Chains A and B, each alone.
Chain A
Amino acid sequence: MLRVTKLVAVAAAATFALAACGGGSSDGSSDAGDTGSAKSDVKVGLAYDVGGRGDQSFNDSAGVGLDKAKSEFGIDVKELEASANETDSAREERLRLLAQGGYNPVIAVGFAYATSLGKVAKEFPDVQFGIIDDSSLEKVSNVTSLVFAEEQGSFLVGAIAAEASKSGNVGFVGGVNTPLIQKFEAGFKQGAESVNKDIKVQVKYLTQPPDFAGFNAPDKGETTAQGMIDAGADVIYAAAGGSGSGVFKAIAAAGKGNWAIGVDSDQYLTADSAVKDYILTSMLKRVDTSVYDFIKSAVDGKVLTGKQEFDLSDEGIAYSTSNDAVKDYEAKADELKKQIISGDIKVSATP
């Protein structure tokens, strides 16, 4: 058995190496897609953030976009996983591996790749890179920044939270105190205050960078949410990746009348059956759409460049309505959504 797996591994490595050679000999830029055939010869490389496939959140969403593009265009894809507590050089190596392997475009999932991508992008000027959640590289011509207006979606769920709260006290649990997660906090606060001026918003970040464990610690999420509930909160927004499941547990333990709000993907659909009914809504960030759109543009031969922002107007940002309990608040939220799209309400991205 062991020998067989070894053989398979060797074979796989050999194929990969051959594929790498093949890719290296072609000139990087792709001219496929004009024939409209189902099978495109674009090869897409995708590097996940910590958590990877199966996180039921951010990374899974990127994976969904990739899967959709794969089945639609028949493209060749290569996915690589990240590990917790890795260094920038490990990320560089991963991106380099994909670029060298002839994968073009290469998509980096998550802002953690920003520094390493800055280096690797220079080494491969013919490869188009995409990075999700970071716009610090928008000036680099072969990097496409795929970013979202999270503050807009957070504004809407903030308004829903304020409407649903009976105690006038809501909570925000952020995973790690980074500028990205602060956008969620800013939107949530403004949204809650737009409905109820005197609302109390408790804010807590689980860890401080460079400690990114806060995205991965359900126990800390639960303790924090428990503390907020004890201090009077009855609706809590979890923008904390994998720590969110702890927040849901605490809310479920507090019983009926308390609500949790999920993030990134529709967590009402993916959460454990014991807690799902407590998830009022989720702030949807369509990472899948951005990944799909980016790959599609590459397949079509007109690859997206520069900074591509997804927001409420193009449905890149939305809130979920799969839990029937949110019906009562939809009218208000949709009205606010219109005002944000038309520009009547300006949502600030910093708290």
Chain B
Amino acid sequence: MSTTLETTTPPAAPAPERATRLSQPLRLALYALVALAVLSLIRVLTDANDLTSAGTVSAALTLAVPIGLAGLGGLWSERAGVVNIGLEGMMILGTFGAGWIGWQHGPWAGLLTAVLFGLIGGLVHAVATVTFGVDHVVSGVAINILGLGVTQYLAGELLADSPGGGETQSPPISALPRPSVPGLDGVLEPLEKHHWFLISDIAGILRGLLTNVSILTVLAVLLVIASYVILWQTPFGLRLRSVGEDPHAAESLGVKVRLYKYIAVAVSGGLAGLAGGFLAIVASGIYREGQTGGRGYIGLAAMIFGNWRPGGLMMGAGLFGYTDAMQLRNAVAVHALLLVVFALLLVVTALNLYRRKWVTAAVGLVFAVLSLVWYLNSDELPGPITTMTPYVTTLLVLALSAQRLRMPKADGLVYRPEGK
């Protein structure tokens, strides 16, 4: 994931018209390689080896998955025309479900409950928005409040007397398996330790991505791919998206609009619940009240900046996870991250110049120069700034690169069937 997160356009975005003759996969691979080389150069220059270490990549993956899954939930729902602000609430339901069942019956049962709880949240949203025509944002906010309230109440009833748990947390949940590609660790670890240009970086990233990865992370990546295939390569997906673009046209062609909306919002809730389950079971090993910490909203933002496409949202989540891992792990590397931001913005600016977007390019250039000046004039970032790097970086890079956002045409509109 983090090999592609340095690329600066969503992979699925339409290619620039008067552009390259390279095919898209090839172009992406080229982008990734260039980005990696830049990253590696910065690492060698600054001696901040944590920039591409296996530890960072593995932490980035863990931090990115809940955001990515929540974003994927948002994608399903919004592609069918239902805005889902309620992702956070559905995630909270998921964390509780995972904690409550997880500590008693094992992680897999907990995971299933998490999905189920999220699904219920999704269905409530569907009933409100699709059947009763409630404003999507109002219903979503209500679900966020409801999710928090219900879990607080249930935790008081169901977890208060558990051994080692309490009204605000569950007992520990046993861990899911963390498989590795066999034999890889022994080869890659020495390579990484040499800190060679490019080679050690690739070794570090591969080691982070392929060894000691939670089985649920693998599942999450597969779900992103599956969502792409289902939504863009099957008749079912075409109908679902048509409901989000123009429900009346879809209806006139015989598509059961309400059914498709129900399915999409339910899947959305299930994915958000899974995101919560990941947070409780894999990332924390425990349910704690308030542990989602707004990740549902960040997921939604990643999806919007990712232009309502799986590839884009994966990049947004990856970028956020990477910078978050960086700031949590190591202050020295965060300082070097300023240089990375500089390089990223420079690329974005060049791209904008090429597209003749003068204003955006100028804004990007100003921020690029600012981060360079800042890097050169400081040794370390102050704590409060460090903590907000993930937010600032993701916002800057995505805002300046993803300029051609196009949301589903009927997104957020209340649909009333013909003749009613």
Chain A residues engaging chain B, CB cutoff 8 angstroms: 50-56, 60, 81, 83-85, 177, 204-208, 211, 213, 216-220, 222-224, 226-228, 230-231, 242, 245-246, 249, 270, 272, 274
Given contacts A206-B328, A208-B387, A226-B329, contact A53 B169 (CB under 8 A): no
| Partner pick for A84 among B53, B160, B172, B290, CB 8 A cutoff | B290
Whether A219 pairs with B63 at a CB distance below 8 angstroms is yes
A177 to B387, CA, bound (A): 11
| Partner pick for A217 among B55, B165, B291, CB 8 A cutoff | B291
Nearest 6 interchain pairs by C-beta: A54-B166, A227-B329, A84-B290, A219-B283, A218-B284, A213-B293
A257 to B164, CA, bound (A): 26
Residues of B within 8 A of A245 (CB): 172, 284-286
Residues of B within 8 A of A272 (CB): 164, 172
Q: B138-164: which residues lie under 8 A (CB-CB) from chain A?
A: 148, 152, 156, 159-160, 164
Min distance, Cβ B335 to any Cβ of chain A, angstroms: 14
Residues of A within 8 A of B284 (CB): 217-219, 222, 245-246
Min distance, Cβ B141 to any Cβ of chain A, angstroms: 14
B323 at the interface (CB under 8 A from A): no
Min distance, Cβ B293 to any Cβ of chain A, angstroms: 4
B6 at the interface (CB under 8 A from A): no
| Partner pick for B384 among A208, A220, A249, A270, CB 8 A cutoff | A208
A249 to B281, CA, bound (A): 13
Whether B325 pairs with A223 at a CB distance below 8 angstroms is yes
A208 to B389, CA, bound (A): 12
Residues of A within 8 A of B331 (CB): 204
Min distance, Cβ B152 to any Cβ of chain A, angstroms: 6
B201 at the interface (CB under 8 A from A): no
Chain B residues engaging chain A, CB cutoff 8 angstroms: 50, 53, 55-56, 59, 62-63, 148, 152, 156, 159-160, 164-169, 172, 279, 283-286, 288-291, 293, 325, 328-331, 383-384, 387-388
Whether B152 pairs with A83 at a CB distance below 8 angstroms is yes
Residues of B within 8 A of A53 (CB): 160, 166-168
Whether B160 pairs with A230 at a CB distance below 8 angstroms is no
| Partner pick for B55 among A55, A220, A230, CB 8 A cutoff | A230
A242 to B167, CA, bound (A): 13
A226 to B329, CA, bound (A): 7
Residues of B within 8 A of A227 (CB): 50, 55-56, 59, 328-330
Given contacts A205-B383, A231-B330, contact A226 B286 (CB under 8 A): no
Given contacts A52-B168, A208-B384, A230-B55, contact A249 B285 (CB under 8 A): yes
Q: Name B283's closest neighbour in chain A (CB-CB).
A: A219
Min distance, Cβ A316 to any Cβ of chain B, angstroms: 24
| Partner pick for B59 among A60, A216, A226, A270, CB 8 A cutoff | A226
Whether B288 pairs with A242 at a CB distance below 8 angstroms is yes
Q: Could you list 8 further interchain pairs (A-B, Cβ under 8 angstroms) beyond the known A245-B172, A272-B172?
A: A53-B167, A60-B166, A83-B148, A205-B383, A213-B290, A219-B283, A226-B329, A249-B285
Residues of A within 8 A of B169 (CB): 51, 54-56, 242
Whether A54 pairs with B165 at a CB distance below 8 angstroms is yes
User: A51, A54, A231: which has the most chain B beta carbons within 10 Å?
Assistant: A54
Can you name 14 A-B residue pairings with CB atoms under 8 Å?
Answer: A50-B290, A83-B152, A84-B148, A84-B290, A204-B331, A208-B387, A211-B387, A213-B293, A216-B289, A218-B288, A219-B62, A223-B329, A230-B55, A231-B330
A81 to B156, CA, bound (A): 10
Residues of B within 8 A of A230 (CB): 50, 53, 55, 329-330
Residues of B within 8 A of A213 (CB): 290, 293
Residues of A within 8 A of B56 (CB): 227
Min distance, Cβ A109 to any Cβ of chain B, angstroms: 13
Residues of B within 8 A of A228 (CB): 329
Min distance, Cβ A81 to any Cβ of chain B, angstroms: 6
A245 to B280, CA, bound (A): 13
A81 to B285, CA, bound (A): 24
A309 to B310, CA, bound (A): 56
Min distance, Cβ A273 to any Cβ of chain B, angstroms: 9
A211 to B293, CA, bound (A): 9
| Partner pick for B383 among A208, A218, A219, CB 8 A cutoff | A208
Whether A223 pairs with B383 at a CB distance below 8 angstroms is no
Min distance, Cβ A271 to any Cβ of chain B, angstroms: 9
A279 to B266, CA, bound (A): 44
Whether B383 pairs with A54 at a CB distance below 8 angstroms is no
Whether B50 pairs with A54 at a CB distance below 8 angstroms is no
Min distance, Cβ A170 to any Cβ of chain B, angstroms: 15
Q: Name B284's closest neighbour in chain A (CB-CB).
A: A218
A230 to B53, CA, bound (A): 10
A207 to B165, CA, bound (A): 24
Whether B166 pairs with A56 at a CB distance below 8 angstroms is yes
Whether B289 pairs with A223 at a CB distance below 8 angstroms is no
Given contacts A83-B152, A242-B169, A249-B285, contact A216 B290 (CB under 8 A): yes
Residues of B within 8 A of A219 (CB): 62-63, 279, 283-284, 291
Given contacts A177-B384, A218-B286, contact A55 B329 (CB under 8 A): no
A204 to B388, CA, bound (A): 14
Residues of A within 8 A of B285 (CB): 218, 245, 249
A230 to B333, CA, bound (A): 13
A217 to B172, CA, bound (A): 14
Min distance, Cβ B10 to any Cβ of chain A, angstroms: 27
Residues of A within 8 A of B166 (CB): 52-56, 60
A220 to B62, CA, bound (A): 10
